[in-house]
Amino acid sequence: MAERGAANAVFSGEGLLFLTDEQLRRGIEAMFFAYRGFTADPDKILQDYAYGRAHHRAIHFINRSPGTTVNNLLTILGVTKQSLNRVLRTLVQDGLVESRVGTHDKRERHLYLTEEGIALERELSDAQRARMRAAFRAAGPEAVAGFRTVLEAMMDPELRRQFRAGPGGET
């Protein structure tokens, strides 16, 4: 029972300046389990396509910034070129992503979701939005603001700048 009280203190904001290792461990576990829940619904949808989370992330960020370049997507996702090319090749072959040669620089490839890609992205994000909306409603506005503050504080400075810049991380 004392452990539950200590864990509740973390989530209620009590004693935040003096977190114990146990309180931090519980916070880490909460992140793991929340991420598992957050990805569960999209994972089920992606199984029908034989896709994984890398496909989902690519689809998400292409949707957020239509026409983004492959190099920008590499930066946002923090993956190797080989890994991203494998994902993009599948998405292009399956008719979900269109790759267009740049008008100013022919070496650039600009990425756009097709109608089918937009439909899949909507299905994936609808599932996650529903989960986030329910959690945010249950937690209340102050907790939502605090949650965002915590998430941003955990980001590396460059990623935080990209996040704050808006869709696709482009300034």
Tell me, what's the pLDDT at 57?
Answer: 97
Q: Provide the CATH number for the domain around residue 92.
A: 1.10.10.10
Helix 115-139 / helix 141-154 crossing angle, nearest 10 deg: 120
Q: Which domain holds residue 119?
A: 2-11+20-169
Say how many C-beta atoms besides its own lie within 10 A of residue 72's C-beta. Answer: 19
Contacts of residue 108, Cβ cutoff 8 Å, sequence gap at least 6: 69, 70, 71, 101, 102
Tell me, what's the pLDDT at 162?
Answer: 84
Whether the Cβ atoms of residue 54 and residue 79 lie closer than 8 Å to each other: yes
**Half-sphere exposure (CA, 13 Å, Cβ side) for 116?**
9
Counting other chains too, the contacts that 10-15 makes at CB distance below 8 Å and 24 or more residues apart are 13/146
Strands 109-113, 68-69: pairing kind = antiparallel
- The pLDDT tens digits along the chain (171 residues) read 445 555 455 555 555 667 899 999 999 999 999 999 999 999 999 999 999 999 999 999 999 999 999 999 999 999 999 999 999 999 999 999 999 987 788 788 999 999 999 999 999 999 999 999 999 999 999 999 999 999 999 999 988 888 888 875 443
pTM of the full predicted structure?
Answer: 0.81
First to last CA, the chain: 49
Domain total of the chain:
1
